[in-house]
Structure 1
Amino acid sequence: MRILIATDAWTPQVNGVVQTVSQVVAQLTEQGHEVRVIHPGLFNTIPCPTYPEIRLAMWPFTRLRNELNRFKPQAVHVVTEGPIGLAMRLLAHGRKLPFTTAYHTQFPEYVKARSGIPIRFTAALLRWFHRPSRAVMVPTQSVINTLKSRGLSNCVLWQRGVDVNRFNPQQSAASKHLSYSPRDLPLDDAQQVELLRRLNACSVEKPVFLYAGRVAVEKNLDAFLSLELPGEKWIAGDGPARKALEKQYPEARWFGMLNHVALAELYKKADVFVFPSMTDTFGLVLLEAMASGCPVAAFPVNGPLDVVGNSGAGVLDWNLKTAAMAALKIERKVPLEHARSFTWKNCAEQFQGYLAPIGISASVPKQVQAIHKPISNRP
């Protein structure tokens, strides 16, 4: 099948959207599908307001139209609601081509956190954007329920996965030797070794509470950094709020942006992964931490409720300090086993099952049963 994917999020960005789409593309390509990804790197770009690290494509309409004519896709999927996603949505809808979309980001909540604009205005725009979609792929059931309450009835569950070859509790060769050789240690890299040397050269006061991800206002990091906890707080990641937070909380260890190989070392060394966000649709970092044997502490909100739920792999509590301290008591084998039930293979199979083939009359694609049953501790 020829599959055209339009996305405003792509490398060199490092986030859950890019990770998900990259993994799905790899899985589909391995299965023999021809996948064409239209991304910002193919266009002239401008920095996203308030988030210059993200580049937005300028005038993508013409190229997307030409790509539709040349590639002749048998399925079209729109990943994001940015300029590329909007142009593809308008083109496909205008040509009466069936297409699917995805809901990766809680834009109404993000926009409100950044600007104060009421949720109802952004929710109305998203409702307009996704309404023609044959299936809006959403990562958790709780977010589906939220979208349904806002007038979107065409949502389907599309879960995520984790690469257990990359994120696991096993000691790496680099951590044993503190050296890097592309010939002798092909699975290690220079950033990983530099991180390990940095940690080895300083004393670490246990326990270690770790956050990894974007450092931005919508991630609610103050709720974590302001806690009075024993041991140390580690922050891995970058974003527009980093400078201000680093100045406000100098006692935390700030590691900056890390690649996945280096980040995997932090997950192994941390005692609890603290996830203070209240606006995420899923939170891939939750799976990465748990696959490394690190239990989770989070608020009982969309994302953690579905990924952790009542599995015992973490503690969800409106008092984040209570959750963090209680998570210290969880045996590391519990989150490890829970995370292994989420695979990228299953994610790609669900994605393919939801696609709306062009030229075949269909309404919403048949619901693909989630191989991992959603977990919820909601009453």
Structure 2
Amino acid sequence: MSSILIVTDAWRPQINGVVRSLERTASELEKIGVRVEFLTPADFRTLPCPTYPEIRLSLAHKGMVRRRIKAHGCEHLHIATEGPLGLMSASIARNWNMPFTTSYHTRFPEYVSARLPIPLAWSYGWLRRFHNSGQGCMVATRSLEDDLRARGFKHLQRWSRGVDEHAFQPFEGSVLPADLPRPIFMNVGRVAVEKNIEAFLELDLPGSKVVVGDGPQLESLKRKYPDVHFTGSKVDEELARHYASADVFVFPSLTDTFGNVLLEALACGVPVAAFPVMGPLDVIGETGAGVLSENLQEAALAALDIPRDHCRQVALNYTWAASAMQFLNNAEEAHRGQPDGLEAA
């Protein structure tokens, strides 16, 4: 396969796992000669999403999207999100009898139910129809695959994630204020209600708590937890140095499908404490690089004893090159009309 068009409603200036995964996948595919194009909100006028102003919703109609898809002239269409651009692109592909794949990055029904009284069954029914209309739905982990299959999703394909082991590494020294008492318990990610950050902030832990990231809940959490050190958003080497300054990475989310931040923390030599749910179960599991427990306080304290070099070795099992090849194989499989290769493997 020589060219792929990726349609995504999640794009910069957003800083999240979806955007990073798509960018790194494209970069790795281009290294092996695959042309990758993107159709994103950057191509259209946008308006801010209610409650999430950093998310921009495209003001495009189907004719505009149809012309863009045709102009890119790519061999395969991959739809990464279920937003306005993703929905219109899927409709166009179906009308053209054009094979396409999707990916399930976000537990959207759980995100919605955290804000609105909408039954999970309604949201999952809508998502099931969307993803089942393509020739393959890419999922990051076995836990997610099992969950979606039980809900009636079909044509599931595995697409794991990677970590940049050169960017994320165990830096010497700390970029945090010297007067922050040790140990440092840190969370990195979008500061929003679905990330369950308060489950971390409410823990009775020694030392200090640090939250790295931005989001709609940031200001209210700052007011509620004045003893917590909030750094705001960090990127590139500055982000990696913040990870490396921590003693334990605490991941309280109950809704992430994978958690790229888990790999980034491990690559920086930082052990993980998390609940035993989708994402941590798949990434940490029985590796010994973290502690999973329904008692997050006990997990965080126990993780202090994990060797940092072991954490990095576990992270090195995940590469973006391998992730990109999975993605490419899934796209080719969908074109051959064998989207159920995962089950057969």
Report the TM-score when normalising by structure 1: 0.88
Moved more, 109-118 or 268-277: 109-118
TM-superposed CA distance for 1:362, in Å, is 1.6
Aligned length, in residue pairs: 344
For residue 254 of structure 1, what is the aligned residue in structure 2? 230
Is contact 1:295–1:335 with CA below 8 Å preserved after alignment?
Answer: yes
Preserved CA contact (<8 Å) 1:290 1:338: yes
Shift of 1:357: 7.5
Give the equivalent residue in structure 1 for 2:128.
Answer: 127
Gaps of 5+ in 2: none
Offset from partner CA, 1:93-119 (integer Å, 9 cap, x none):
111111000000000111111113111
User: Given the alignment of the two structures, is residue 288 of structure 1 paired with residue 289 of structure 2, yes or no?
Assistant: no
What is the Cα deviation at residue 12 of structure 1?
A: 1.5
Specify the SS of the correspondent of 1:55: strand
Q: 2:311 aligns with which of 335, 338, 354?
A: 335
1:363 aligns to 2:338 (yes or no): yes
Counterpart in 2 of 1:18?
19
Worse-superposed segment, 259-268 or 271-280 = 259-268
In 2: Cα distance, 1:49 partner to 1:83 partner: 14
Q: Secondary structure at the match of 1:235?
A: strand
Identify the residue that residue 293 of structure 2 maps to in structure 1.
317
Q: What displacement does 1:157 show?
A: 1.3
Name the counterpart of 2:119: 118
- 1:75, 1:294 → 2: CA distance? 38
Q: Are 1:63 and 2:38 counterparts?
A: no
Whole-angstrom CA distance in 2 between matches of 1:342 and 1:53: 29
Partner Cα distance (1:143, 1:132) in 2:
19
Give the equivalent residue in structure 2 for 1:43: 44
State which of 161, 176, 196 in structure 2 corresponds to 1:220.
196
Q: 1-side partners of 2:276 and 2:322: how far apart?
A: 26
Percent of pairs with identical residues:
45
More moved, 287-296 vs 147-156: 147-156
Conserved 8 A contact 1:353-1:368: no
Please say if residues 273 and 290 of structure 2, whose CA atoms lie closer than 8 Å, have aligned partners that are also in contact. yes
d(CA) in 2 for partners of 1:340 and 1:60? 43
Aligned partner of 1:117: which letter? I
- In 2 relative to 1, CA 63–207 (structure 1 residues): closer, same or farther, beyond 3 Å? same
User: Alignment partner of 2:185: what SS?
Assistant: strand
Correspondence for 2:164: 163
92-101 or 271-280: which moved more? 92-101
Tell me if the contact between 1:134 and 1:356 (Cα under 8 Å) persists in the aligned partners.
no
Describe the superposition over 1:220-265 as per-residue Cα deviations: whole angstroms up to 9, x where unpaired.
0110001110000000001011111110001000000111211111
Give the letter for the 2:70 counterpart.
N
Aligned to 2:181: 205
Moved over 4 A (4+): none
* Inter-CA distance 47–114: structure 2 relative to 1 (3 Å threshold): same
Q: Which amino acid aligns with 1:286?
A: L
CA contact (8 A) 2:3 2:36 kept: yes
Distance in 2, Cα, partners of 1:103 & 1:251: 37
The equivalent of 1:92 in structure 2 is 93
Cα offsets for 1:144-199 (capped at 9, x unmatched): 1111111102111110000000001143xxx6xxxxxxxxxxxxxxxxxxx93xx3
Name the structure 2 match of 1:104.
105
